[in-house]
Amino acid sequence: MPKNMIFVCKSCHSSSAELPENPPFDSTILLEQLNTLCTEKFLNNEVEIHPVGCLWSCNNGCVVSVASLDKPTYLFVNLTPGESAAALLDFMQLYIKSAKGTVVWKQIPELLQSALFAQIPSVVSNETPGNSD
């Protein structure tokens, strides 16, 4: 079974207009919370969390993307440490359960509905566009 991945921009900060001189940045706090909660919610290592240098959405606070093989990638912006980590992992449970990776809007945790910036179609697929039956 392919891994489901969460990518966390480790240079994001949403608490103020300027980055603090002494980390941790908000994204570091969010990353730590995700790692802690993930071990509690996903016992069989079906989710990998990867810090990344930048997700190029610097004006949008903490940015996280969710991706898996043959599923769309979701991009969440303006996340804050605290409730965001639990909401992201709740979303991951829905994402993993969906064979195609689509999550019904009403099922997306309310906290994430306003943070959902994009759903990007999968770039890895067993089907060629136009050849589906």
| Confidence (pLDDT) at 22 | 65
| pTM (global) more than 0.85 | no
Contact 1, 45 (CB under 8 A): no
Confidence bin at 1 (pLDDT 50/70/90): very low
Contact 64, 88 (CB under 8 A): yes
pLDDT digits 0-9 by tens, 76-123: 998 888 889 999 999 999 999 999 999 999 999 999 999 999 898 887
| Confidence (pLDDT) at 133 | 45
Contacts of 58 (CB under 8 A, 6+ apart): 11, 12
| Confidence (pLDDT) at 94 | 95
Contact 58, 12 (CB under 8 A): yes
pLDDT digits 0-9 by tens, 35-60: 888 888 777 778 999 888 777 666 66
- pLDDT of 15 strictly over 60: no
- Cα 23 to chain centroid distance, Å, stands at 22
Q: Give the whole-angstrom CA distance, residue 40 versus residue 118.
A: 28
